[in-house]
Amino acid sequence: MTVLPILSAFVARVGEHVLVSRILFGVRAVVQVAGLIAFVAGVSLVIGLSPLALHRTWWVLAAMGWALALMLAGAAVGPRMQYWGWLWGRFKGWRSELFKTQR
């Protein structure tokens, strides 16, 4: 529960450039929704749901948390995928040159 506020402190910066604000908008939204999920999980314990409702609520919240974690991982890995695409294109070109048949 304490990790999310610490992460949001690194994501939210005052006085940053407009371009940086636009780039980090999605990451900030995901971190805020993750904080909201943690809050809802805590509220579900306090309000005294039945065990079955609590179980289902936590499964849904866990699935949402995993989806958000994958989104954050995609945001971290996504910019690097252009490099891997370029590298794969170079490999395919090299492979086609190596196995080209002579006519």
Query: Is residue 63, in this structure, part of any structural domain at all?
Result: yes
Q: With contact defined as beta carbons under 8 Å apart, do 70 and 78 qualify?
A: no
pTM higher than 0.85 for the full model?
A: no
Query: Is residue 103, in this structure, part of any structural domain at all?
Result: no
Q: What is the pLDDT of residues 1-50, one digit of tens each?
A: 556 666 665 666 667 777 777 777 788 888 888 888 988 999 999 998 99
| pLDDT band, very low/low/confident/very high, at 64 (cuts 50, 70, 90) | very high
Query: In whole numbers, what is the pLDDT of the chain averaged over residues?
Result: 76
- In terms of residue numbers, what domain contains 24? 3-98
Total domains in the chain come to: 1
Q: List Cβ neighbours of 34 (8 Å cut-off, separation of 6 or more).
A: 4, 65, 68
- Angle, helices 3-11 vs 25-46, to 10°: value is 160
